[in-house]
Structure 1
Amino acid sequence: MSDSAPEPRPVSAEAVPLGTGTRRWLFRPPRRHGEADTGRSVSFLELFYDLVYVVLIGQAAHTLAEDVSWRGTATFAVVFGLIWIAWLNGTLFYELHGREDGHTRSLIFVQMLLLSLMAVYVGHADGDDGRTLAALYALLLALLSYQWYSVYRQDRPELRKTPRRYLIVMVVGIIVIAASVPLSADARLAVWAAFVVGWCGVECVILIFWRRTPSYDVVTETMVERFGLFIIIVLGEVVIGVVNGLTDTERSALVTTTGLLGLAVGFGFWWNYADLVSRRLPRESGHSLATWIFMHLPLTMAVAAAGAGMVGLVEHATDDRAPVSVSWLMSGSVAVMLITTVVLLPTLADYDRYPAAYKSVQTVLVVAAVVALLVGWSRPAPWLLALALLLVLFATWAFAFVRWLRQGFLINEISAGSH
């Protein structure tokens, strides 16, 4: 006979009647405010959901690549703002209130259906397709509002003030977007622009007042990860832009080199965001969380715009000077990315640990943004434009890397990550 202890018998879950289990799985209410699951990881459903936005952003970027003008850029910015607001609502709802059940899955899949239909019309949003896009977007906002309302209904009375304000802004947004359907293209774009600016501004203020005296935590590692994953999705547009440019252009050594340099600019975006911002929790209180969230809008927009600019950069690789529009789009995107990073850094929870290092990095980022704009203004040859912007991004990362090493910050992070 063996002297070893008997293996423990598996614990069986309590049996639930089929009807009761099905009802729980399909109709279980979302989590209330203050019940965020801080120990969870990003789910496959969230990754699937984000993939739909790849198509939406790709359609918008493709249109900008075909019309790199002031109007084309403005249209892209407005449409991207609409897309980002939808993504933010879907992401935060799942993060704060979603569950791994049939109810949450069903609502997310309905969102994905609407988003997929929207992708059909995003490419010509400044024309007649804008009417259908506006109608679909109003439906999407209505669905998102219903989700937030389902949380509001079961919240404790003392926690309903902020969700009520949020819902009012959402309902006003539905009305505004629906009212833009019959308007002319220019008027409709103006209404959309006002909606993006107004919605972000008002919700930012609501968030600031809400977090002045937080009664519970809302910042989690999964939320930070979702924002980082969205940046990666947008960075995919840089790769697509280079590939499309090389596909549509007669390839030569110069053209291929220009494309690879452009792709390396995308790598520079990733290195700076990954090492300066990503996986670092923002502060919970004050204006920091609001700034951290809403600064990701211009940041991701700039990266997506650079992806659109890659097409023109490669197509004009043999020109003596880069086209004015392409030169400004590329340099402006780099400058916006650097400046938004400057604003993001003080919102991080560990900013006060090494204030001198962070402030010196911020100074370098501002100088680098100015240099990037000067490069765009000078309009060098496309290959040289890409190389110069790449060097600007590399210089900012290298400076930050050296500062972290001198402070022991980077070494401490590596040590912490190994345990």
Structure 2
Amino acid sequence: SVPIVLGHRLDYMQFDAAHLPERFGLFIIIALGETLVGIGQGGTHKALDGTEATTLCVAFLLSCGLWWTYFQYGASAAEHALRTAKIPAVLVRSSFSYGHLAFVLGIILAAAGMAQAAAEPKEHLHGVHALLLGSGVALYIATFCYTRIVMFGGASYTRVVGALLAVVITVFSPGLPALAPLAMLAALVIALNCFELYWVNSGRPLLLINVGQGAAGR
């Protein structure tokens, strides 16, 4: 009964719509910063040849793409949802707390895969090691679908497709050199962001898969 009572009390709490998204955004920045540390450590074990230098650059591009995916539209959408939701606690619990745990888990998995690729870019991946990078990127993108459903009741077509393509790349990763899926995922994330930027700037309506009413519509 205690969680139920506390849950009802939390429903009526007020949250700073500018401060809270900023704090969670910093949480994402810290997690992404750790990926860069891992990439750097993975590539400092010896003098770099052309393939290894290329892998470091591609891994850096992927990290930038993950940052772009969150801060281009995701952060502002979260702030808008928190400002307009009648029961902000629903967003704080489901989108900010649970959602950002999933974001960070995806970043951790992707970071492990990027560090492995940076250390041995020509090494053919097998087993669990082949799945880390792709599954992390897929989870990261898919979490945007979850948070948008919680906030607005619909998931973006572009991010649903992006998450599915990341899963496909993950499935075909075993047996490939580590650089191959890394490059494909970096290209996917950058293409996703470029398409969304073009689509929004052209003034077209967002392509959404509506599944219900989100917290911002309550």
TM over 0.5: same fold?
yes
Distance 2:42 2:86 in 1: 43
Task: Name structure 2 gaps, 5 residues minimum.
Answer: 206-218
Change in 2 beyond 3 A, CA 1:407/1:346: farther
Quick one: which of 9, 19, 22 aligns to 1:225? 22
Task: Name structure 1 gaps, 5 residues minimum.
Answer: 1-160, 167-201, 410-419
Distance 2:157 2:103 in 1: 18
Residue 240 (structure 1) aligned with residue 37 (structure 2) = yes
Quick one: which of 366, 373, 394 aligns to 2:190? 394
Q: CA RMSD in A?
A: 2.7
Distance 1:326 1:252 in 2: 23
Q: Deviations over 1:247-298 (max 9, x none)?
A: 1244211011112111211111100000121144133517333211221101
Q: Give 3-state SS (helix, strand or coil) of 2:131's partner.
A: helix
CA contact 2:113–2:132 (8 Å) conserved in 1: yes
Q: Deviations over 1:303-326 (max 9, x none)?
A: 12222222211222122x334333
What does 1:229-378 align with in structure 2 at a 5 Å threshold?
A: 229-279=26-76, 280-281=78-79, 282=82, 283-285=85-87, 287-293=90-96, 294-319=98-123, 321-348=124-151, 351=152, 359=155, 362-378=156-172
Distance 2:29 2:46 in 1: 26
The list of structure 1 runs, each at least 4 consecutive aligned residues, that deviate by more than 6 angstroms after superposition, is none
Q: Deviations over 1:37-67 (max 9, x none)?
A: xxxxxxxxxxxxxxxxxxxxxxxxxxxxxxx
Q: Deviations over 1:110-135 (max 9, x none)?
A: xxxxxxxxxxxxxxxxxxxxxxxxxx
Higher relative contact order (CA 8 A, sep 6+): 2
Query: What residue in structure 2 maps to residue 102 of structure 1?
Result: none
Residue 384 (structure 1) aligned with residue 180 (structure 2) = yes
Q: Deviations over 1:4-59 (max 9, x none)?
A: xxxxxxxxxxxxxxxxxxxxxxxxxxxxxxxxxxxxxxxxxxxxxxxxxxxxxxxx
Structure 2 counterpart of 1:398, one-letter code: C
Residue 390 of structure 1, CA deviation: 0.8
Change in 2 beyond 3 A, CA 1:342/1:239: same
Distance 2:21 2:70 in 1: 12
Aligned length: 197
Structure 2 counterpart of 1:248, one-letter code: H
Identity in percent: 20
Q: Give 3-state SS (helix, strand or coil) of 1:217's partner.
A: coil
TM-score by length of 2: 0.79
Change in 2 beyond 3 A, CA 1:405/1:387: same
Flag the structure with larger Rg.
1
What does 1:5-20 align with in structure 2 at a 5 Å threshold?
A: none
Structure 1 counterpart of 2:36, one-letter code: V
Query: What residue in structure 1 maps to residue 216 of structure 2?
Result: none
Distance 1:251 1:326 in 2: 22
Distance 1:295 1:253 in 2: 38
TM-score by length of 1: 0.43
